[in-house]
Amino acid sequence: MQVRIMNGDNGKDAVSCARTVPNKSWSFKILYFILIFFVLGLGVCILSMNMIRYLGLRNMVLRESSRLEPCDDATNTLECWRKPPSNLMHNMNDTELFWRATFAPRIQEYPYKRVPKVAFMFLTRGPLPLSPLWERFFRGNEGLYSIYVHSLPGYRANYSRSSVFYGRQIPSQVTEWGKMSMCDAERRLLANALLDLSNEYFVLLSEACIATRNFTIVYRYISKSRYSFLGSYDEHGPYGRGRYDKRMEPEVTLEQWRKGSQWFEVNRELALRIVEDKVYYPKFKEFCKPACYVDEHYFPTMLTILVPHLLANRSLTYTDWSRGGPHPATYGKKDISKEFFDKILGRRMCFYNHRLVFLCQLFARKFAPSALEPLLSLSSEVFGY
């Protein structure tokens, strides 16, 4: 009422009154609202901060459990670039995998303490009957090795969680003895192993191979060598130069043609050379088909051309060809004894870093599943594990 009266009297006053009189109650209301907003805002703030922390934690947990994408914006730390994929199964085909595997640092020193690992790569049909022996070999050496298994595609591995072979299977394809698909499988093993930056040495094995020394000796022998152990020699005659095809020129000449055992040990530099190759691969694929066994010629010839100064030109894997024929001798239960290993292991001499030594081989093949039991009872005395 008062306001209206004053309004009628003096417009100017009315304006000032209209401003001042209700101001008291309004300012209380506004203050009240501001307070409510403030309290509400504070609440929302605290709640969202907790949510972020909770979700962040959840994300981290999720990331830990499925680290297929190694790095995204939130985890862009050196740690995350260094870490190997925790799950060896991936959806890359060979073209994509090989491309990814050949990423290599150009700066040679690592900006962190890198412990070089040996990658043990098992090329198998399916099961690993000698796995209990290998479990014994690896035990206690965690952090110094990694394992990769390439078996025929249909094979379902069934290792317990405590096994060193658990979850170590890589995506595989059909592999035929003596054909290019065998080299493809070996390159696939190398490429998968290259994804782990700490792998420095790469050993190819089969389900019929055993280690004839303990891990300590194997690791030292391989890591202290100036050369990689890949058999490579120039053999005259039908099984050596006789398998050469002149159409491989000019990439490969007859003088460059080499032969060597399939079972190699190479360092990271050589592994990269093998995976990145696009020059020699097509030549071998086209012009080295049975009776040219490509797995005996492709890597030895190519690496002798590219990096002869890095090769020891001998294999670390003992194989017995004395019985003749296209396949080496296979040892079963009745063959295994201490004398047998004294005979096959201790007889030779060879060069190791330019010094003559007696220890020339660290692995041996071929052993049938029936050999497992006697091998297990001999291993500590004869192999030192």
Ligand X SMILES: *[C@@H]1O[C@H](CO)[C@@H](O)[C@H](O)[C@H]1NC(C)=O
**Within 170-243, where are the H helices?**
180-194, 215-223
Closest by CA position to 289, among listed 301, 297, 280, 279:
297
Q: Of residues 11, 326, 346, 384, which one binds ligand X by CB under 6 A?
A: 384
- Contact status: 311 vs ligand X (CB under 6 A): yes
CA distances from 334 to 47, 229, 320, 330, 345 (A): 73, 31, 16, 11, 18
Q: Does 91 bind ligand X (CB under 6 A)?
A: no
Q: Does 214 interact with ligand X (rule: CB under 6 A)?
A: yes
Q: Is 217 in the site for ligand X (CB under 6 A)?
A: yes
Query: Residue 160 contacts by C-beta under 8 Å, 6 or more apart in sequence?
Result: 166
Q: Is 173 in the site for ligand X (CB under 6 A)?
A: no
282 binds ligand X per the rule CB under 6 A: no
Q: How remote is the C-alpha of 319 from its chain's centroid?
A: 26
State in angstroms the smallest separation of the CB of 354 from ligand X. Answer: 8
Q: How far apart are CA 206 and CA 35, in angstroms?
A: 75
Choose, by CB under 6 A, the member of 164, 209, 312, 372 that binds ligand X. 312
**Whole-number CA gyration radius for the chain:** 34
Of 170, 163, 226, 164, the residue nearest 355 (C-alpha):
226
Residue type, 231: G
- Considering the rule CB under 6 A, would residue 313 count as an interface residue with ligand X? yes
**Least spacing, CB of residue 314 vs ligand X, in Å:** 9
Q: Which is nearer to ligand X, 204 or 382 (CB)?
A: 382
Shortest distance, CB of residue 97 to ligand X, whole angstroms?
A: 9
Cβ-contact 197, 354 below 8 angstroms:
no
Stretch that binds ligand X, among 14-22, 287-295, 311-319, 328-336 (CB under 6 A): 311-319
Which residue in 319, 322, 282, 317 sits closest to 298, CA to CA?
Answer: 282
Q: CA-CA distance, 173 to 352, in Å (whole number)? A: 36
Q: Which stretch binds ligand X (CB under 6 A): 65-73, 181-189, 284-292, 307-315?
A: 307-315
Instruction: Tell me the residue nearest to ligand X as measured from the CB.
Output: 384
Q: Which residue has the tokens 């030895």?
A: 300
Q: How far is CA 271 from CA 63, 203, 229, 300, in A?
A: 30, 10, 12, 13
Q: Does residue 301 touch ligand X according to CB under 6 A?
A: no
Binding residue (CB under 6 A) for ligand X from 43, 56, 308, 326: 308
Rule CB under 6 A: choose which of 2, 95, 162, 322 binds ligand X.
95
Instruction: Please name the residue ranges forming H helices in the chain.
Output: 2-9, 11-20, 23-65, 78-82, 94-101, 131-138, 180-194, 215-223, 268-276, 281-287, 298-306, 338-345, 372-382
Q: Which of these segments, 50-58, 64-72, 248-256, 310-318, binds ligand X (CB under 6 A)?
A: 310-318
Strand order in the sheet with 117-123: 145-150, 117-123, 199-206, 265-267
What are 365's two structure tokens?
């093949």
Query: Does 248 contact ligand X by CB under 6 A?
Result: no
3-class SS of residue 162 = coil
Binding mask 335-374 for ligand X (x = CB under 6 A): ----------------------------------------
Instruction: Name the residue among 242, 244, 270 with its Cα closest to residue 256.
Output: 244
**Pick 205 or 312: Cβ nearer ligand X:** 312
Range 136-155, binding ligand X (CB under 6 A)? none
Q: For residue 216, state whether it binds ligand X (rule: CB under 6 A).
A: yes
Query: Is 158 a residue that touches ligand X (CB under 6 A)?
Result: yes
Nearer to ligand X, 32 or 99 (CB): 99
d(Cα 335, Cα 329) in Å, to the nearest integer? 11
Candidates 88-96, 161-169, 284-292, 323-331; binding stretch for ligand X (CB under 6 A):
88-96
Residues in the interface with ligand X (CB under 6 A) total 17
| Position among 227, 229, 281, 293 found at the interface with ligand X (CB under 6 A) | 227
* Residue numbers at the binding site for ligand X (CB under 6 A): 93-96, 158, 214, 216-217, 227, 304, 308-309, 311-313, 384-385
